Amino acid sequence: MGSPAMPSKACQPCRVKRRKCDKKLPGCSQCRRAKVVCLGYRDDFSSRLRDQTVSTAHKFQTLDKTSGSVSPMAMSPVMRSRSASDMQHAQTTPDALVVHKLSASPEDVALGYFLNFYAPATQFDYLSEASTVFLCPGPLRSALLAPSLLLLSQNFQSTALQALAQDNYAKALRLTSSVLSGQVLVTCDSTLLAVLLLSVYEALAFQGRQVPSAWSAHIRGAFQLLQMRGETQFDSSLGRNLFLHASCNIRIDCTQRGMKAPPALGALQSSLVRNMDPRDPNIRLGAFLDQFANLRSRICDFPPLSRTHKALELDKELVTLLDDLWRLVPFISVDVATLPGQIDTYEDWVHRYTSQRMLKLWNSVRILRLFVNEHIHHYLTAQHTIEKFQTEEWTQARESAMAISAKMISDVLASVPLCLESSMSPMVSARSLVYPLTGVAVSKLGSPRAKRFAHNRLAFIGSEYGLIQAAESAHMVSQTRDMEDWIHLLLVS
């Protein structure tokens, strides 16, 4: 029996079953496997309060059995205020009485998980500095609850939580439509944030490997809001972060659909750069995505030599971006032999990053560089029989593209083991790996062993963590061996 001075910090279902609880967040692995909703763990104060209160209730129950009654003066003020029927219920199920009152609601647990674990690892990492925006009227609370509850439902495979998430999404859609039809709140930070939250709900909920039209609709709506907000949106830190978040998604959507990035977006970004360090990785990434989207939209208009030159220019931009990342947020290479236990690795070394967000940013740039160098290699191979492409310069460029691709693949796969093994929020970590692993698995320049490792990790994430999109990505790799036009949703969520 546990000591009141050191009560168990396990979740309530694990305490009832007397099983070992690994206390992972947002809920333990034991509850997830049992498909039971785990509502978190007790802190020191509530643990002592709860255990002592339950113990006192048991004492009252014992006194009642021996003497037939309990002195009103011996009862706490709360117990004296209860009716006879309440007291009878408390004596028969004291744990239910106390635990029910002290347990957090699913909404509170979901919001805590989203804001403390999901947001810092994604494009929403600025939300920790945006607490005042949640006081604004409008659709924001429902828009925030929708993806928060959806993430929790996926973690526990709970249809009840999923239905609650859908209800909040529908409510947020109605409220957002009402705001957009008015003039008062349409340019507020809270409105743009609500639209971005609705888009991430669509990205998280997406299934079926079809074209993600609902997500694209939200992103196009976000672009309209950016135009309406104008340059005044850059007056605050939150406004600048919202712009960077929305504009990145707009560019990704344009790239995926083979469209040029809107010129109005570039004009707004030029105004933003005056208020920020132009070497900021987010600024550089936005500028690169502009060029990448524009090249993809006109690729057929250029002769082979021009295509190759433009792709080589893009690669130089990515080299600069990777150098900036290394200067700002370097990672550590770790020899596998120095790690305790055994983990599944591709090579004899792995990477450790400063945060989950930085790992995702590093891998996103690596996959972009892998794509660019695959294009370079493809162009040069296709033109290899033409005399002007048979020079030593172009031969070295083709070999360099292969070497760079191998390096990018190796670095992506080195990020996988510690990301899965050491994370306090494994669902978020596992999700962040699906896009880069898919990029490796379908790579035209990847070795069979590297592609097999990536595919196996995708299948593992799909089965172990119940991530449907990871399982669908693994099936996609097996069936088509090519990127379908929905996989970018893993990049933006």
Which tens digits make up the pLDDT trace of 119-129?
Answer: 999 999 999 88
Q: Do residue 322 and residue 451 come from a single domain?
A: yes
Give pLDDT, residue 71.
Answer: 39
Residue 303 resides in a domain:
no
CATH number at residue 19: 4.10.240
Percent of the chain with pLDDT over 70: 83
Distance CA 242, CA 331 (A): 27
**Total number of domains constituting the chain:** 3
- The first and second tokens of residue 317, run together, are 């931009």
Residue 292 resides in a domain:
no
Average pLDDT over residues 310-329: 94
Distance CA 389, CA 180 (A): 55
Query: In terms of DSSP H, where are the helices of 298-391?
Result: 304-328, 356-382
Average pLDDT over residues 374-403: 85
End-to-end CA distance of the chain: 44
Q: Do residue 154 and residue 17 come from a single domain?
A: no
In terms of Cα–Cα distance, which of 260, 243, 269 is closest to 296? 260
* More confident: 131 or 461: 461
Q: Do residue 238 and residue 341 come from a single domain?
A: no
Which helix (H) or strand (E) segment is 334 a member of? strand 332-335
The residues, ordered by sequence, that sit 6+ positions from 368 with a Cβ below 8 Å of its Cβ are 288, 292, 318
- The first and second tokens of residue 419, run together, are 């990301």
Residue 337 resides in a domain:
yes
The model's confidence at residue 379, banded by pLDDT at 50, 70 and 90, is: confident
The model's confidence at residue 57, banded by pLDDT at 50, 70 and 90, is: very low
Q: Do residue 322 and residue 462 come from a single domain?
A: yes
Give pLDDT, residue 348.
Answer: 92
Give pLDDT, residue 6.
Answer: 57
Q: Is the pLDDT of residue 85 over 60?
A: no
- The first and second tokens of residue 84, run together, are 């006879």
Q: Do residue 474 and residue 344 come from a single domain?
A: yes
Distance CA 187, CA 394 (A): 51
**Tally of residues, the chain:** 493
DSSP string of 233-286, one letter each residue: GGGSHHHHHHHHHHHHHHHHHHHHTT-PPPHHHHHHHHHHHTTS-TT-HHHHHH
- The first and second tokens of residue 221, run together, are 């709506």
The residues, ordered by sequence, that sit 6+ positions from 375 with a Cβ below 8 Å of its Cβ are 307, 311
Q: What does the buried/exposed string (b/e) look like for 269-295 if buried means 16 or more CB atoms within 10 Å of the residue's CB?
A: beebeeeeeeeebbbbbbbbbbebbbb
Q: Do residue 251 and residue 327 come from a single domain?
A: no
Q: Is the pLDDT of residue 397 over 60?
A: yes
Q: Do residue 367 and residue 230 come from a single domain?
A: no
Residue 331 resides in a domain:
yes
Q: State how far Cα 291 lies from the chain centre.
A: 26
- Give me the residue label for tokens 């069979």: 448
Q: Is the pLDDT of residue 406 over 90?
A: yes
Give pLDDT, residue 301.
Answer: 84
The model's confidence at residue 84, banded by pLDDT at 50, 70 and 90, is: very low
Residues 412 and 339: beta-carbon distance below 8 Å: no
- The first and second tokens of residue 339, run together, are 């790690």
Residue 328 resides in a domain:
yes
The residues, ordered by sequence, that sit 6+ positions from 469 with a Cβ below 8 Å of its Cβ are 206, 207, 431, 434, 489, 490
Q: Do residue 371 and residue 434 come from a single domain?
A: yes
* More confident: 17 or 380: 380
Q: Do residue 316 and residue 253 come from a single domain?
A: no
Residue 419 resides in a domain:
yes
pLDDT in tens, 355-374: 999 999 999 999 999 999 99
Q: Do residue 315 and residue 230 come from a single domain?
A: no
Q: Do residue 33 and residue 115 come from a single domain?
A: no
In terms of Cα–Cα distance, which of 296, 185, 203 is closest to 249? 203
In terms of Cα–Cα distance, which of 150, 104, 23 is closest to 31? 23
In terms of Cα–Cα distance, which of 280, 127, 281 is closest to 194? 127
- The first and second tokens of residue 412, run together, are 């992506």
How many helices and strands in the chain, by DSSP H and E?
Answer: 21, 2
Q: Is the pLDDT of residue 381 over 70?
A: yes
Residues 468 and 462: beta-carbon distance below 8 Å: yes
Residue 344 resides in a domain:
yes
- Give me the residue label for tokens 């999700």: 431
Residue 414 resides in a domain:
yes
Q: What is the DSSP letter of 105?
A: P
Distance CA 491, CA 483 (A): 13
* More confident: 301 or 262: 262
pLDDT in tens, 408-451: 999 999 999 998 876 677 889 999 999 999 999 999 999 999 99
Domain that holds residue 187: 107-257
pLDDT in tens, 250-273: 999 999 988 999 999 999 999 998
Q: Do residue 135 and residue 29 come from a single domain?
A: no
